[in-house]
Structures are given as structure tokens and as C-alpha cells.
């Protein structure tokens, strides 16, 4: 090695130290992934070089082949990974290797600190990059020379404990980066040829540059997405998926598509079995790899599919884009946007087929990825396809896990039914006892049960399935529904109100309106209730209770939306109120009961801010009724 100049010591940034501390002491069983990370960096560096070359930049050692070489020295216990890629200048070394730029790293560190025993899965999936080398290394030496002619080659070395040293090399080093890994005593296995060969085949087989182990080429360099479907085996698809996604599992779906006109492209897409939502800190880490004529233009391009399809992994390769296209202008390129919308259609087409041919498989898909896919409600261009693919629980389902499609719902609609009804609630139990459901049960009308707060945005934004509007049970025209045929006869036929009582009932409603004053829009006779005494409903154009709760979270100042208070004249409690009212219209019991019913309705929809008054009133009423109870039963 030649003379070193300007040797300088630097300290790692705090977050790097934290990460290193975890890695150095980690008992992670799959330490081998460090090699995947180094090879992946080398491959990125080669991609970047090819990109610069396509742009016509001046390049040092222009004629060197683009390749990765792995050498090992069993005696010295050293492994080296070299590439002829873009290299790094001194400044680049400091910014790239001295800090962690990857978004979500902080969350990653936190998570890893919390779940010590299960780090393996997380480390493997997150891909912590270069630093993973310190799981196996006691010292690392990087020798690198940038493709820029003015930059001097530099050497970086560190034991991964707290600082690193950089010095300039004045000798003639060739372009690219060489990483010498001085292995820990317990990591000797990484100088064994067969072991290295296995690791490379397992994790890096599809790297698009040749990987040499010594003199022997190890990987399969062909781009399988450009091969005819019939010549690719399931194993090859699985292997490629694992390489691409860092997932240990096989994919749930493989979508391999080749389009020739009007624009040529090949797409090889995968849908994972499991959602990576749990890795929420890694949410930004989505997108498809974009190739032009087998040359990687961009890793994880986020414009090839909309965000609501971010669970899709894969590659897209086109003949029709220029090789020197810049990433910054991709979005404005008409061919690119056409490819992107065609990729989206491909995914929709695939899902529609799956929903038909493999109903259960599709439901599994919805359960895993629905949370993200659902957000497609905002994509109006795909409205009609999307609305066929949504799934919800409904009142006809036997349990909360069952799902139905809108096509199934519409096939079961009653004569004259023009709307698709939905109700929101935290679970089936609470929906089953919700007073709003009573009339629907009575008429045998199906109601979608929405459990996820976002579901209401989904149906409200979609507005319609075919010609049927989505309608909240809170804002229906209950008189129209009342006219429909009952399927269930009320258990005890209630006597109609006498003319005289009907008059008193109507005065009682006015009285109640006085009591509730401007807290409600109006107090009216209910045509929808069967078993409950009262409930709150929205005006037809109003916001539903759960939507109101969501809006209130974002705007604390938002006041309670005024609603209509409906009272059921056939309920025993209301009948008794009429009797009291007839004799003493100013009786305190009427006031207390009205307040109680109103606040209970608020409580039920989750909009009662302060329960103190309600609890106090209930306790007083219980106390009174306990007196009556004791007297009635002669217990005193
Ligand atoms: P990531 O690859 O996720 O960005 P790493 O920690 O693995 O994170 O690498 C940090 C950066 O160091 C890379 O983004 C790249 O700029 C640079 N780098 C790493 N390895 C190489 C290499 N072999 N050649 C050129 N640059 C490299």
C-alpha cells in the first residue's frame, strides 16, 4: 500500500453509534445478510456509473467492465467485496458512510431496542445497509476511487466502535470501491468458498451485474421479467421475489405481463402474503424498480403505481423510454405516465380475476392488504373497477370476519331499494344493539357494517355502486322505508295511541323540544324505532356521528352538529311519559327522562363529552326506583 496522506479521525454520528452498538452485540442468527447488503451497495454503485455513462459524463477508467468481485483469504480471515462502480470522494465517504440517511432509521432503532429477542426478522427486512458488516467484522477498510477525474482515491477504516479514519491515497487506484472485511474470530465461516457461494445464490442471485467469487461467476444475470412466461419456473419467480423484497416467504401472487402495443413494456409484479404495515416506519420504502432495456433506471420508483397499491413489489422494463432519461423528468414523460396507468390497470385486472376465480384467496388478500388498498377510494379514474373490489362485513354475515362484495349486496336488494345502507361501529356487538338498526332488521334490509374509521370516507367518496348510492343508516328517509313490508312481526302487538293520547304525545314532543332547546334541530315522532325509546339522527345531508368524531379530532373547535331527536311512541317508557304528561305536564320526571334519553343517545354514538351529569341522574333515578321496588314487594 502506498503512502497515506491527510489522515484524519472522525466520530460517528450519535445514531450511527447506537446502530453499531446494537449490531456489534447482536446475536442475530442470520448475520450472512451483511453480504447481501454489501453486494447490493456495489450493484447500486454500478447502476449509478452506468447511468452517468448513459448521460455522457466523463468517467475515469472508462473501459473497466462493470462487475463485482468477492475474494477471501482463509489464513488472514479477510473477505473483500470489490466493485467497479461509481466510487466515492472523501466528502462523499463522510456524508454517505458516516451518517444514516435512510428514512425511518430512528424508529427502526427504537423498535429494535424494544423487541430485543426478535430483531432477526426486522434486521433482515429493513436492510440496514453497510453497517451490518460490523456484525461479523472487527475492522473494515474501504478503498475507493470516484469516477470523477479530479478526485483522489481515499481509504477509510474503522473498528465500528466509535470513530473512523480517512486518509488520501496518492497511488494510482482504479475506479470503484473495495471493502475489506477483517472478520471476527467467530465469523470464519465467511471465508469458506461453498458458504459464500450459497449466500450469494440465496440473496443476490438476481443482481444484474456479474458477481465473481474468485474467478468464477456465481449469479444468474438474466432479466427473468423479459423471458416468456412459459420458460420461467415457479421457483425462479419465488427466488426473484425473495431477492427483491427481502421477504422470507413466497409471494401470494405473481403477475407477469408483457405488453407490446401501443407501448412496449414488461412487468413482473408480486403481492406479498403478509402486509408489511407492521413495519410502519418503513412505509416510504415502496415502489417498483424501473428498467429501460434491462438497465436499471430507478430503484423503487413511486410513480409507477399509486400509493394505495404500494404493497405491490416488482419491476417494470420498457423498450420505449430513452436510456438517458433523467429521474427528475420521468413524471412529465408521456410514455412513462402511460406505462404507469397501464401497470395500475394490470393490477386491477389481476385482482378482478382473482376475486372471481378464487373468492377466498381474494378475501385473504383484502384482509392483509385492504387497509392500504382501500385508500384507492380517491382514484376517480378507476372508480368502477375499484368499487367492485371493496369488501365489507354486513348485517347478513354470520360473524364479524365474513366479507361481502357490492355485487353480492346488490343481488340481495329488496324490490324498490335504491340505496346501499351502511352503519359504522367499533364491532358487530355494538352495531347489533344500535337503535338505528331496528327498522332495517324489521324490513329485512341488509346493512354494511363498517368497523374501520376510514371506511366511511371510502363509501362517502365512492358515493355510488352502479346506480345505488351509499347511505348512512343515520340519514335515511325512514318514512319511505317504513312503507316497505315487514319481515318480522313485532313480538307484542302494541295498541295504537288513542286520538287523545296522540294529541298529548305531540304536545309532549314540543315539551321535549323546549327542554333540549338548541341542542337539537328538532324532536319528532320516530318511524324507524322498534325496541328503543329514542335515538338521534342526522338530517339527510348531515354528517354522520362517526364522521363527526373524525372531523373533531382534526378540529377541536368543531361544535356538535345539531341532530334530530326521534321518539318512539310505541315504547313503554314513552307511553308512561304520556300518562304523566296528561296529568302534570311540568313534572320533573319528564325533564329528567328527556335529558337522560338525549344523553344516552349521545353516549351511544360516542359524542358525550362529560358523563358526570348523566351518571348522577341515573343514580338518583335508581335510588328512587329502589324505594318503589322495596315498597312494591313488601320488603320493608
Ligand atoms: P443505503 O445503501 O441504504 O443508502 P448504506 O449504509 O448501505 O445505505 O450505504 C450508505 C451510502 O454509502 C450509499 O447510499 C452510497 O452512497 C454509499 N456507498 C455504500 N457502498 C458503496 C459502494 N460500494 N460504492 C459507492 N458508494 C457506496
- Measured in whole angstroms, how far is the alpha carbon of residue 628 from the centre of its chain? 56
pLDDT of residue 119: 57
pLDDT at 267 over 70: yes
Q: Would you place residue 68 in the very low, low, confident or very high pLDDT band (cuts 50, 70, 90)?
A: very high
Q: Is the residue at 623 inside a domain?
A: no
Minimum mean pLDDT among 128-142, 303-317, 405-419: which range? 128-142
Name the burial class of residue 589, with classes exposed (0-12), middle (13-18) and buried (19+) by CB atoms within 10 angstroms of its CB. middle
418: CATH: 3.40.50.11260
| In a domain? residue 460 | yes
Q: Quick check: CB of 105 below 6 Å from ligand 1? A: no
Classify burial at 117, counting beta carbons within 10 Å of its beta carbon; exposed 0-12, middle 13-18, buried 19 or more.
exposed
Report CA(44)–ligand 1 centroid distance (Å).
8
Per-residue pLDDT, 1: 47
The enclosing H or E element of 14 equals helix 14-24
Residue nearest to atom 3 of ligand 1 (CA): 129
Minimum CA distance residue for ligand 1 atom 16: 96
* CB of 96 shorter than 6 A to ligand 1: yes
Q: Which residues contact 334 (CB under 8 A, 6 or more apart)?
A: none
365-418 confidence digits (pLDDT tens): 999 999 999 999 999 999 999 999 999 999 999 999 999 999 999 999 998 899
Highest mean pLDDT among 18-32, 268-282, 395-409: 395-409
70 Cβ closer than 6 Å to some ligand 1 atom: no
Does the pLDDT value for residue 538 go beyond 60? yes
Integer CA distances (angstroms), 29 to 33, 181, 484, in order: 10, 19, 66
Q: Is the CB of 45 under 6 A from ligand 1?
A: yes
- Percentage of the chain exceeding pLDDT 90: 65
Q: Is 382 part of a structural domain of the chain?
A: no
Confirm or reject: Cβ of 85 under 6 Å from ligand 1. yes
Mean pLDDT within 67-92? 97
| Average pLDDT score, the chain | 89
* Domain with 425 in it: 392-482
Residue 366 lies inside a defined structural domain of this protein: no
pLDDT score for 440? 94
Indicate which residue's Cα is closest to atom 8 of ligand 1: 129
Do 184 and 37 belong together in one domain?
Answer: yes
Mutation test residue for ligand 1: of 39, 41, 85, 104, the one with most atoms within 8 Å of CB:
41
Report strand pairing: 419-424 vs 468-472: parallel
Beta bridge partners of 73: 78
pLDDT at 15 over 90: no
Name the pLDDT band for 271 (thresholds 50, 70, 90).
very high
Choose between 137 and 276: higher pLDDT: 137
Closest ligand 1 atom to residue 48 Cα is 25
Q: Is-contact 145 174, C-beta < 8 A?
A: yes
Q: What is the pLDDT of residues 217-250, one digit of tens each?
A: 999 877 899 999 999 999 999 999 998 888 889 9
Half-sphere CA count of 309, side-chain side, radius 13 A: 28
Q: Which three cell numbers stand for residue 43?
A: 450493484
Residue 510 Cα to ligand 1 middle (Å):
74
- Tell me: the pLDDT tens digits for 419-473? 999 999 989 988 998 999 999 999 999 999 999 989 999 999 999 999 999 999 9
pLDDT of residue 22: 78
Rounded to 5 degrees, what angle do the CA atoms 377, 378, 383 make? 60
Contact 97 CB / ligand 1 (< 6 Å):
yes
Higher pLDDT, 68 or 17: 68
Task: Give the pLDDT confidence of 604-627 residue by residue, as tens digits.
Answer: 888 888 899 999 999 999 999 999
278 with 334, same domain: the answer is: yes
Shared domain check, 330 and 181: no
Q: Which of the four pLDDT bands, split at 50, 70 and 90, describes residue 44?
A: very high
Strands 154-158 and 176-183: unpaired
In 357-397, at which residue ranges do the beta strands (DSSP E only) sit?
393-394
Q: Is 48 in the pocket of ligand 1 (CB under 6 A)?
A: no
Residues 133 and 236 in one domain: no
How many folded domains does the chain comprise? 4
Residues 253, 190, single domain; the answer is no
Question: Looking at residues 274-301, what average pLDDT do you find?
Answer: 81
Residue 420 Cβ contacting ligand 1 at under 6 Å: no
Distance between Cα 38 and ligand 1 center (Å): 8
Q: How far is the CA of 96 from the centre of ligand 1 (A)?
A: 6
Residues 27 and 170 in one domain: yes
Whether residue 356 lies inside any domain: the answer is: no
Ligand 1 centroid, distance to 132 Cα (angstroms): 12
Amino acid at each position: 500500500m502506498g503512502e497515506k496522506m491527510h489522515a484524519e479521525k472522525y466520530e460517528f454520528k450519535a445514531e450511527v453509534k447506537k446502530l453499531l452498538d446494537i449490531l456489534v452485540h447482536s446475536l442475530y442468527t442470520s448475520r450472512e445478510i451483511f453480504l447481501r447488503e454489501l453486494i447490493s451497495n456495489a450493484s447500486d454503485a454500478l447502476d449509478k456509473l452506468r447511468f452517468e455513462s448513459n448521460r455522457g459524463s466523463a468517467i475515469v477508467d472508462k473501459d473497466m467492465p462493470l462487475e463485482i468481485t468477492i475474494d477471501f483469504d482463509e489464513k488472514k480471515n479477510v473477505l473483500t467485496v470489490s466493485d467497479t462502480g461509481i466510487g466515492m470522494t472523501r466528502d462523499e465517504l463522510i456524508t454517505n458512510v458516516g451518517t444514516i440517511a435512510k428514512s425511518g432509521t430512528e424508529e427502526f432503532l427504537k423498535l429494535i431496542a424494544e423487541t430485543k429477542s426478535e430483531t432477526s426478522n426486522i434486521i433482515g427486512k429493513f436492510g440496514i445497509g453497510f453497517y451490518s458488516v460490523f456484525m461479523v467484522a472487527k475492522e473494515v477498510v474501504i478503498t475507493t476511487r470516484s469516477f470523477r477525474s479530479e478526485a483522489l482515491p481515499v481509504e477509510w477504516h474503522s473498528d465500528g466502535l466509535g470513530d473512523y479514519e480517512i486518509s488520501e491515497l496518492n497511488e494510482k487506484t482504479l475506479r470503484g470501491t473495495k471493502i475489506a472485511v477483517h472478520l471476527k474470530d467467530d465469523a470464519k465461516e465467511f471465508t469458506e468458498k461453498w458458504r459464500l457461494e450459497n449466500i450469494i445464490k440465496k440473496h443476490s442471485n438476481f443482481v444484474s451485474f456479474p458477481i465473481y467469487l474468485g474467478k468464477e461467476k456465481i449469479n444468474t444475470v438474466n432479466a427473468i421479467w423479459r423471458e416468456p412466461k412459459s420458460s420461467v419456473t415457479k421457483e425462479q419467480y419465488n427466488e426473484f421475489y425473495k431477492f427483491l423484497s427481502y421477504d422470507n416467504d413466497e409471494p401470494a401472487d405473481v403477475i407477469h405481463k408483457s405488453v407490446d402495443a401501443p407501448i412496449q413494456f414488461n412487468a413482473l409484479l408480486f403481492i406479498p402474503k403478509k402486509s408489511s404495515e407492521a413495519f410502519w416506519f418503513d412505509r416510504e420504502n415502496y415502489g417498483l424498480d424501473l428498467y429501460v432495456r434491462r438497465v436499471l433506471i430507478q430503484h423503487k420508483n413511486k410513480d409507477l403505481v399509486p400509493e394505495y397499491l404500494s404493497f405491490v413489489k416488482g419491476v417494470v422494463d420498457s423498450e420505449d423510454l430513452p436510456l438517458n432519461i433523467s429521474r427528475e423528468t420521468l413524471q412529465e414523460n408521456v410514455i412513462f405516465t402511460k406505462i404507469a396507468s397501464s401497470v395500475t390497470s394490470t393490477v386491477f385486472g389481476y385482482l378482478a380475476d382473482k376475486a372471481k376465480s378464487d373468492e377466498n384467496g381474494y378475501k385473504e388478500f383484502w384482509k392483509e392488504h385492504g387497509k392500504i388498498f382501500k385508500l384507492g377510494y380517491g382514484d376517480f379514474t378507476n372508480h368502477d373497477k375499484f368499487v367492485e373490489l371493496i369488501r365489507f362485513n354486513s348485517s347478513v354475515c354470520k360473524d364479524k370476519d365474513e366479507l361481502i362484495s357490492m355485487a353480492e349486496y346488490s343481488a340481495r336488494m329488496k324490490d324498490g331499494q335504491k340505496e346501499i345502507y351502511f352503519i359504522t361501529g367499533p364491532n358487530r356487538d355494538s352495531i347489533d344493539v344500535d337503535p338505528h338498526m331496528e327498522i332495517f332488521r324489521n324490513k329485512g334490509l341488509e346493512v354494511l357494517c363498517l368497523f374501520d374509521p376510514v371506511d366511511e370516507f371510502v363509501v362517502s367518496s365512492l358515493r355510488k355502486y352502479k346506480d345505488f348510492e351509499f347511505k348512512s343508516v343515520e340519514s335515511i328517509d325512514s318514512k319511505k322505508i317504513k312503507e316497505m313490508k315487514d319481515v318480522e312481526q313485532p313480538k307484542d302487538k302494541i295498541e295504537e295511541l288513542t286520538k287523545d293520547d296522540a294529541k298529548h304525545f305531540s304536545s309532549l314532543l314540543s315539551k321535549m323540544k323546549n327542554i333540549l332547546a338548541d341542542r337539537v334541530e328538532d324532536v319528532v315522532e320516530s318511524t324507524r324505532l322498534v325496541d328503543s325509546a329514542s335515538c338521534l339522527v342526522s338530517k339527510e345531508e348531515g354528517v354522520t356521528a362517526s364522521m363527526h368524531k373524525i372531523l373533531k379530532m382534526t378540529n377541536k373547535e368543531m361544535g356538535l352538529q345539531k341532530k334530530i331527536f326521534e321518539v318512539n311512541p310505541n315504547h313503554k317508557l314513552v307511553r308512561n311519559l304520556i300518562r304523566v304528561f296528561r296529568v302534570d305536564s311540568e313534572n320533573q320526571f319528564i325533564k329528567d327522562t328527556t335529558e337522560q334519553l338525549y344523553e344516552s343517545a349521545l353516549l351511544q354514538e360516542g359524542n358525550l363529552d362529560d358523563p358526570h351529569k348523566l351518571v348522577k341522574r341515573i343514580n338518583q333515578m335508581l335510588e328512587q326506583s329502589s324505594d318503589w321496588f322495596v315498597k312494591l314487594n313488601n320488603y320493608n
